[in-house]
């Protein structure tokens, strides 16, 4: 992996940011890091280490699980990725480069993860932290819910899918 990278138009900006991060941290630009980052920037859903590995199944010879975890960790600390628990035993990730901040609704019926933003809630959070003597640095707000029309939810069948 030594050529000038030539990414798809759509993710070139994200890749530039990723490479900048690597350089800033004195880390090397390797084939594995490029492969994982491209894959992540090409996915527009929440994912887990396992589902990422699944997306890479046709390229499995090129990357190991250990390296995936190592790259996820770099991207999280570099703020290209956010990490979520959602009450499960494994972590979810989502890439946040160029995405505006949002919180999540997790459907207990169909496992869907829906995003939302609420400037009002954000404002209240700051006020609350302040009133308790803290400076807010971040937050996680997860709403757990059920589809209003369970029977007509086309996602319901996915309920028992493994890490989506």
Where does this chain bind DNA (CB under 7 A)?
1-2, 26-33, 48-50, 62-67, 69-73, 89-91
- Residue number with CB closer to a second copy (56 or 147): 147
Q: Which does 20 bind (CB under 5 to 8 A by kind): a second copy, DNA, none?
A: none
The 10 Å CB-count burial string (b at 16+, else e) for 51-65 is: bbbeebeeeeeebee
The candidate with the shortest Cα–Cα distance to 97, out of 6, 10, 4, 7, is 10
Q: Which does 28 bind (CB under 5 to 8 A by kind): DNA, a second copy, none?
A: DNA
- Residue 57 Cβ vs a second copy, minimum distance, rounded to whole Å: 28
- Residue 109 Cβ vs a second copy, minimum distance, rounded to whole Å: 9
- Residue 15 Cβ vs a second copy, minimum distance, rounded to whole Å: 28
Give the whole-angstrom CA distance, residue 159 versus residue 116. 21
Question: Which residues are at the interface with a second copy (CB under 8 A)?
Answer: 85, 87, 105, 107-108, 114, 116, 118, 120-121, 124-125, 128-129, 132-149
What are residue 112's DSSP bridge partners? Answer: none
| Rg from Cα positions in the chain | 18
For residue 151, CA distances in Å to 101, 113, 142, 154, 162 come to 31, 18, 24, 8, 21
- Residue 112 Cβ vs a second copy, minimum distance, rounded to whole Å: 9
């Amino acid at each position: 992996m030594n050529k000038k990278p030539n990414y798809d138009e759509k993710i070139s900006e994200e890749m530039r940011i990723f490479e900048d991060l690597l350089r800033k941290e004195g880390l090397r630009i390797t084939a594995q890091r490029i492969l994982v980052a491209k894959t992540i920037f090409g996915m527009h859903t929440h994912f887990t280490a396992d589902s990422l590995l699944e997306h890479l199944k046709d390229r499995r010879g090129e990357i190991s699980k250990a390296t995936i975890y190592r790259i996820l960790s770099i991207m999280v600390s570099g703020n290209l990725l956010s990490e979520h628990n959602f009450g499960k035993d494994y972590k979810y990730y989502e890439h946040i480069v160029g995405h505006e901040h949002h919180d999540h609704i997790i459907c207990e019926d169909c496992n869907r993860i829906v995003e939302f933003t609420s400037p009002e809630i954000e404002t209240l959070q700051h006020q609350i932290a302040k009133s308790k003597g803290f400076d807010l640095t971040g937050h996680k707000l997860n709403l757990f819910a059920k589809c209003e029309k369970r029977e007509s939810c086309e996602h319901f069948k996915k309920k028992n899918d493994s890490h989506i």
